[in-house]
Amino acid sequence: MKPIQVTQSSMPRFEEYCEEIKEIWENKILTNNGIKHVQLEEELRKYLKTPNITLYTNGHLALENLLECLNLAGEIITTPFTFASTTHAIVRNGLTPVFCDINPDDFTIQVEQIESLITEKTSAILPVHVYGHICNTKEIERIATKYNLKVIYDAAHAFGITVNGESVANFGDASMFSFHATKVFHTIEGGAITFKDSSLKEILNSLKNFGISGQESVEYIGGNAKMNEFQAAMGICNLRKINEEIDKRKLVFERYLENLQDMEGILLPKIQRDIKSNYAYFPVIFNHDRLTRNEVFETLKKQNVFSRKYFYPLTNRLKCYERKINSGETPIAQYYSERVLTLPLYADLGLEDVDRICAIIKKCR
Ligand SMILES: *Cc1c(COP(=O)(O)O)cnc(C)c1O
């Protein structure tokens, strides 16, 4: 059997991409806010229905710059049920992550616990829309206003989602999106920040370009995190068929549900109320004593099907943070981290492959 990876990047037709990059050969401008960059930024601003957006070479550096430009200090309340990037961005900015537990149903930050974690040093909340499950943004907003905290969303999984018709890009002070090859929408590698305060645009654009603010002036100690023209061209192509892509993902998602709904000892993902999903992931929880997540993972692997223990370990258990940061008390996150498996999901995954994967899982018990 041909191996099935947990994800597979969507690609435009080869000729379509060639057509898109032709202009780059004509004008010989490969990066630094070229025409493709300008075009994609404007198209994404419209697609995400957001007032302000700035593109990045990847999502992680976008998040690092975002934390930097908001002048945060001290402690940031966040969750450990996420990719290493979220916690790294906090620590690499010289800030201290304070870990809040997650909800058992959607794996997003447990808002009831947030207030008990706030101290005089808290300056922001950095929740994650895990798997495209949207956080309780209303309650987070209420708490942030009460304590005068900034809210930054890690929206790496949430591209294109709307809540009651409202774009996910407009919650909190700002959101970071990742356009990595494995994400629902990609620019090979890439990312973006969407934000409320339009005065941040100048600072972010400067921070991602060595802090340069004018021909003879460098105002910030910035790094380099600009998106290049080839990335932008890939984004322009992929954005043309993003809705189609999400529809195809939906079929795969629903096929999994159909196949696995009657299986015992397994919790399946639910689409939250009032949300138009992007079907980014299919996380399954094996919470039965007799059938462990690791057994299913190994059995699938033997059959050339590659699932992913996403997220395991928790970021507050990563080796690099041993004895360096306080891991806090996050028992719910720990429980799900030991039992979760994300199954292969991408637009071009065949429905008969989904059936086969499900048959292997059902035979495990
Ligand atoms: C992918 C991802 C990132 C980092 O994005 P890159 O574009 O790969 O740098 C950050 N947070 C989460 C939750 C992610 O899944």
Q: Which atom of ligand 1 has the smallest separation from the CA of 183? A: 1
For ligand 1, the distance from its centroid to the CA atom of residue 79, given in whole angstroms, is: 14
Query: What whole-number distance in Å separates Cα of residue 62 and Cα of residue 140?
Result: 22
pLDDT level of residue 77 (50, 70, 90 thresholds): very high
In this predicted structure, the answer to whether residue 290 has a pLDDT above a threshold of 90 is: no
Task: Specify the pLDDT at position 145.
Answer: 98
Q: Output the residue whose Cα is nearest ligand 1's atom 7.
A: 59
pLDDT more than 70, % of the chain: 100
Mean pLDDT of 186-207: 98
Name the closest-CA residue to atom 2, ligand 1.
156
Verify whether ligand 1 is closer than 6 Å to residue 58 (CB atom).
Answer: yes
Longest dimension (CA), the chain: 68
Domain-by-domain residue ranges, the chain?
Answer: 14-240, 242-363
CA of 87 relative to ligand 1 center, distance in Å: 11
With a 6 Å cutoff on the Cβ, whether 110 touches ligand 1 is no
- What is the topology classification, in CATH, of domain 14-240? Aspartate Aminotransferase; domain 2 (3.40.640)
Nearest one of 116, 134, 126 to 90, comparing CA atoms: 126
Give the separation between CA 78 and CA 99, rounded to whole angstroms: 5
Q: Which amino acid residue places its CA nearest to atom 6 of ligand 1? A: 59
Is the alpha carbon torsion for 162, 125, 44, 89 positive or negative? negative
pLDDT tens profile 159-191 = 999 999 999 999 999 999 999 999 999 999 999
Residue pLDDT, tens place only, 87-102: 999 999 999 999 999 9
Mean confidence (pLDDT) of the chain: 97
Q: Mean per-residue pLDDT for 209-231?
A: 97
Is 242-363 CATH 3.30.1490.20?
no
Cβ–ligand 1 distance for 157 under 6 Å, the answer yes
Q: How confident is the model at residue 289 (pLDDT cuts 50, 70, 90)?
A: confident
Residue (of 95, 113, 90, 118) closest to 103 by Cα position: 113
What tokens appear for 329 in the block? 């008390």
d(CA 172, ligand 1 centre) in Å = 18
Q: Ligand 1: distance of its center to the CA of 61 in Å? A: 10
Q: Is the CB of 82 under 6 A from ligand 1?
A: yes
